């Protein structure tokens, strides 16, 4: 085998590897992540695959909120300074698309990640 | 032979570049925006087109509907009608008159026994308008029910009148669906069409793919647990869900949801959720929203006959979860339960 043929082979292999890496990056499946927004702006992200209990203290439009990820894949609002307490009573979010919402605080927790494969959630 | 490498490398680089270009071009990132109005959340997810501008415009349209219909805003048309209750007719915009007429038409399906825009004094009695929740006495409920029916409503052309001075209307049960109608109408007029727009307005969905005829997979929220109970497939549609699981209060272990059954004056207890899917036609967002309450407040025996009444009006299908948690569907839709996947 000629030296030039070997170089050609290496270049082609490198190019193929590059395309494969690119493909994986484009199509990677995101981990299960909870995104916390206030007034449409992301204020925190929480890794729900973590085995540790995580406590977040954020500030909503009305006042402080305490958000707890239980280390078992669920996230909920533990305390909030809203009159209706709807967010505190909401079933903890766990699956992709699940949300916990506090309207008075303009706060939304959304679980992201692929898994259900649905386009939209009727609720 | 060494010289032959250069064109090969050039070819590969060009190929990779083109592949990247097309990969990025064919899958533009969706732009997601969140807004707060009508005491709920509006989430818009637009892919392609001038997404950010589209989202802003959709929000502006929803704000306009809110300003027109709000029960709480003193300058809204609803507030003007309510303020004049027992006094005389109020001149309203043609859009407002059309919306009230659409609501009354849905009520007429079963004589206002499951949906009634004039039930609002009872919502107030239960504390849902002030969030100062309480369980009223039976006498208070029957007394209030006497004037909380759409027979209090006189609509003539573009004037609306409430006979009793204590009567009130609230379009909260139809305004979000109507907002989706207004949004859909606008989306059709955009020159640079987006690939997809998903609007979630407090649980009411608009699924828009224009001429692309996307086959949507719509998850149905589990009314008692986490995640979904299953999914249905549909083309572009409005999807309205009425449920007892997002807005409610509890007293002595009993759940009282925000949807008042107009036939009893008590919160509906027959179902956990009703999801109504309607096709894209004028006012079908509003009608689907109202029909959600109709099916939510109906027993299983009448749901089937009610469905036959409305079937011809663009209803794609209905997914129901009754009080015992039993799932069922009406219409030519295939519901795939989560357990069966």
Q: How confident is the model at residue A29 (pLDDT cuts 50, 70, 90)?
A: very low
- In chain B, which ranges are continuous DSSP H helix? 5-26, 51-69, 77-83, 94-107, 120-125, 138-145, 175-189, 284-296, 300-310
The pair of three-digit structure tokens given for residue A48, joined into one six-digit string: 């729900």
Contact call for B241 and A123, based on CB within 8 A? yes
Contact call for A103 and B243, based on CB within 8 A? no
Amino acid B340: pLDDT: 54
In a domain, B170, yes or no: yes
CA pair distance B116, A28, nearest whole angstrom: 49
Nearest-CA residue of chain B relative to A92? B226
Nearest-CA residue of chain A relative to B220? A122
Contact call for A4 and B231, based on CB within 8 A? no
Nearest-CA residue of chain A relative to B223? A123
In a domain, B97, yes or no: yes
Q: A21 touching B, CB under 8 A?
A: no
Nearest CB partner across the interface for A123, out of B8, B203, B217? B203
Residue B162: C-alpha distances to residues A40, B2, B88, B173 (Å): 39, 91, 7, 18
For residue B45, the surrounding DSSP H or E stretch is strand B40-47
What are the pLDDT tens digits along chain B (341 aa)?
556 667 666 776 677 677 666 655 556 788 989 999 999 999 999 999 999 999 999 999 999 999 999 999 999 999 999 999 999 999 999 999 999 999 999 999 999 999 999 999 999 999 998 888 999 999 999 999 999 999 999 999 999 999 999 999 999 999 999 999 999 999 999 999 999 999 999 999 999 998 888 999 999 999 998 788 999 999 999 999 999 988 888 899 999 999 999 999 999 999 999 999 999 999 999 999 999 999 999 999 999 999 999 988 889 999 999 999 999 999 999 899 987 55
Q: A122 touching B, CB under 8 A?
A: yes
In a domain, B334, yes or no: yes
CA pair distance B173, B180, nearest whole angstrom: 13
In a domain, B5, yes or no: no
Contact call for B131 and A84, based on CB within 8 A? yes
Amino acid A28: pLDDT: 46
In a domain, B63, yes or no: yes
Contact call for A26 and B5, based on CB within 8 A? no
Provide the edge-to-edge strand list for the sheet that holds A99-102.
A41-47, A33-38, A107-112, A99-102
In a domain, B7, yes or no: no
In a domain, B117, yes or no: yes
The answer to whether the CB of B221 falls within 8 A of the CB of A121 is: yes
For residue A10, the surrounding DSSP H or E stretch is helix A3-27
Nearest CB partner across the interface for A40, out of B33, B227, B239? B33
The answer to whether the CB of B122 falls within 8 A of the CB of B263 is: no
List of chain A residues whose C-beta atoms are within 8 Å of the C-beta of residue B33:
40
Query: Count of domains in chain B?
Result: 1
Q: A25 touching B, CB under 8 A?
A: no
List of chain B residues whose C-beta atoms are within 8 Å of the C-beta of residue A13:
none
Contact call for B217 and A15, based on CB within 8 A? no
CA pair distance B181, B169, nearest whole angstrom: 21
Nearest-CA residue of chain B relative to A19? B16
ipTM higher than the 0.95 cut: no
List of chain A residues whose C-beta atoms are within 8 Å of the C-beta of residue B2:
4, 7
Q: What b/e string do you get for B163-182 counting C-beta neighbours within 10 Å, with b at 16 or more?
A: ebeebbbbbbbbbbbbbbbb
The answer to whether the CB of B203 falls within 8 A of the CB of B306 is: no
Amino acid A83: pLDDT: 86
Mean pLDDT on A86-98? 87
Q: How many CB atoms lie within 10 A of CB B116?
A: 30
For residue A88, the surrounding DSSP H or E stretch is helix A86-89
The pTM of this model reads: 0.84
Nearest CB partner across the interface for A8, out of B5, B225, B247? B5
Amino acid B185: pLDDT: 97
Contact call for A39 and B205, based on CB within 8 A? no
In a domain, B325, yes or no: yes
List of chain A residues whose C-beta atoms are within 8 Å of the C-beta of residue B241:
122-123
Q: Structural domain of residue B201, as residue ranges?
A: 31-340
* A:B CB pairs within 8 Å: 110
List of chain A residues whose C-beta atoms are within 8 Å of the C-beta of residue B203:
122-123
DSSP structure string for A14-59? HHHHHHHHHHHHHHPPPP-EEEEEETTEEEEEEETT-SS-EEEEEE
Contact call for B198 and A119, based on CB within 8 A? yes
pLDDT above 70: residue A31: no
What CATH code is carried by the domain that includes residue B165? 3.10.520.10
Nearest-CA residue of chain B relative to A88? B246
Contact call for B5 and A12, based on CB within 8 A? no
Q: Which long-range contacts (CB under 8 A, 24 or more apart) does B323-327 make?
A: B323/B269, B323/B270, B323/B271, B323/B272, B325/B223, B325/B224, B325/B272, B327/B229, B327/B230
Nearest CB partner across the interface for B225, out of A86, A91, A101? A91
């Amino acid at each position: 085998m000629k030296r030039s043929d070997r170089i050609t082979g290496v270049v082609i292999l490198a190019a193929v590897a590059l395309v494969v890496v690119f493909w994986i990056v484009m199509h990677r499946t995101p981990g299960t992540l909870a995104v916390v927004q206030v007034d449409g702006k992301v204020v925190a992200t929480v890794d729900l695959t973590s085995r540790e209990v995580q406590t977040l203290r954020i500030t909503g439009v009305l006042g402080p909120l305490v958000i707890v990820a239980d280390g078992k894949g669920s996230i909920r609002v533990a305390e909030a300074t809203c009159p209706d307490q709807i967010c505190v009573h909401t079933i903890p979010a766990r699956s992709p698309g699940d949300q916990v919402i506090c309207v008075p605080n303009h706060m939304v927790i959304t679980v992201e990640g692929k898994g259900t494969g649905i386009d939209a959630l009727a609720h | 032979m060494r010289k032959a490498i250069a064109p090969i490398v050039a070819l590969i680089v060009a190929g990779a570049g083109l592949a990247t270009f097309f990969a990025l071009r064919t899958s533009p990132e969706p732009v997601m925006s969140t807004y707060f109005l009508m005491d709920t959340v509006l989430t818009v997810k637009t892919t392609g087109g001038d997404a950010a501008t589209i989202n802003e415009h959709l929000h502006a349209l929803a704000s306009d509907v809110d300003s027109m219909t709000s029960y709480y805003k003193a300058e809204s048309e609803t507030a003007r009608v309510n303020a004049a209750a027992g006094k005389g007719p109020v001149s309203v915009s043609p859009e407002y008159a059309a919306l009230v007429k659409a609501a009354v038409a849905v009520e007429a399906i079963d004589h206002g026994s499951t949906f009634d825009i004039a039930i609002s004094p009872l919502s107030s009695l239960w504390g849902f308008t002030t969030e100062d929740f309480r369980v009223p006495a039976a006498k208070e409920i029957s007394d209030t029910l006497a004037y909380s029916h759409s027979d209090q409503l006189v609509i003539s052309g573009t004037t609306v009148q409430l006979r009793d001075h204590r009567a009130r209307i609230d379009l909260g049960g139809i305004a979000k669906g109507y907002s989706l109608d207004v949004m859909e109408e606008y989306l059709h007029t955009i020159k640079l069409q987006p690939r997809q727009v998903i609007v979630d307005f407090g649980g009411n969905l608009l699924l828009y793919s224009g001429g692309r005829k996307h086959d949507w997979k719509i998850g149905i929220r589990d009314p008692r647990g986490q995640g979904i109970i299953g999914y249905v497939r549909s083309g572009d549609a409005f999807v309205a869900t009425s449920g007892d699981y997002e807005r409610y209060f509890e007293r002595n272990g009993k759940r009282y949801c925000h949807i008042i059954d107009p036939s009893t004056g008590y919160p509906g207890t027959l179902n956990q959720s009703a999801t109504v899917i309607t096709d894209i036609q004028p006012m079908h967002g509003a009608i689907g929203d109202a029909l959600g309450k109709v099916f939510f407040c109906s027993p299983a025996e009448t749901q089937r006959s009610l469905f036959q009444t409305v079937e011809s009006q663009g209803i794609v299908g209905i997914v129901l979860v009754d009080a015992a948690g039993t799932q069922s569907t009406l219409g030519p839709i295939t519901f795939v339960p989560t357990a069966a996947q």
